[in-house]
Amino acid sequence: MQTARQIERDGYYQESAPLQQTSTRYPVQRCLAATRTAAAEVVIVENADYGRMLFLDHELQSASYDEAIYHETLVHPIMHAMYGRDDKNVLVVGGAEGATVREVLKWGPNKVRHVDWVDIDGELVTLCRRHLRYAPEAVYERGYVTYYNQDIMTFLDTAERSARYDVIVIDLPDPDPNEQVLYGPAFWRLIHQSLRQGGGIVSHVGPVEPRRRPGLEIVQQGAGGGGHAYHTHIPSFQGEWGFWMNREPAFGRLFQLEGCSVMDNSYLRTVFHWDRHWLGL
């Protein structure tokens, strides 16, 4: 892999997402990290347009310029739908940047009793904490957040996780039809086994285009069908990004939550609207 010095000398970093047909070259002002963890090749750079950018195995994961769009859109619709349930136990799967946990904690201790955060790549979590700084240090130090440096399948496959969680937020790599473990039958069996009755599940589904939503199909079918898909535009991803949750969006309840830069009542309704061309092209 390229070193930080090589990336800075070249003046750009080339993204090559395996599930997309296009490749993007991002100008680089500075390379903050270029290393290989036990799980992935990690590159963190600074870009004039998008700020600090995280790449895993040459694929863009997030950028400081617009990460709030992704993370608020992932977390808040399901938390809002589950508003009536207090003292929730929440499971965050993945989300090494810490921003997914950050958004969950915005709901406060009355709505969130405890967060279990599971990410297999502890080195990546440390790199993100040091270089990206999406989440304030308080997120990592909250007494009711427990981080587990484990594989999610191993973590969930214990009796003590059975029917434990009120909300499960899945922030893993894009669903891949060639991946047999993540998003596979055993994965979803453990997810549903760990969910309390009437609990909420949400996952991102990767890029979506009119009549082309393979990630959504993988998640929706794997999770047992039904549910509600939604989407939003993320500039640094240069396209539309999809999400899916198993609960009905709570449009009848006014969305009010301090600290959000993207999510409000109007935006909540907008992301669940699919214009006609999404089905007609």
Residue 225 to residue 211: CA distance in whole angstroms: 18
**Four-residue CA torsion sign, 106, 109, 113, 115:** positive
DSSP label of 175:
P
Q: Is 171 known to be catalytic?
A: yes
Q: What are the φ and ψ backbone dihedral angles of 21, each rounded to 5 degrees? A: -90, -10
From 116, 121, 166, 171, active-site residue: 171
Q: Do 193 and 158 meet the contact criterion of CB atoms below 8 Å apart? A: no
Distance of CA 231 to the CA centre of its chain: 13
In this structure, are residues 95 and 173 in contact, taking their beta carbons and an 8 Å threshold? Answer: no
Q: Among 162, 78, 147, 74, which residue's Cα sits nearest to residue 114? A: 147
**Distance between CA atoms of 167 and 158, rounded to whole angstroms?**
18
At a CB cut-off of 8 Å and minimum separation 6, what does 130 contact? none
Q: How far apart are CA 253 and CA 171, in angstroms?
A: 26
The residues annotated with a catalytic role in the active site are 171
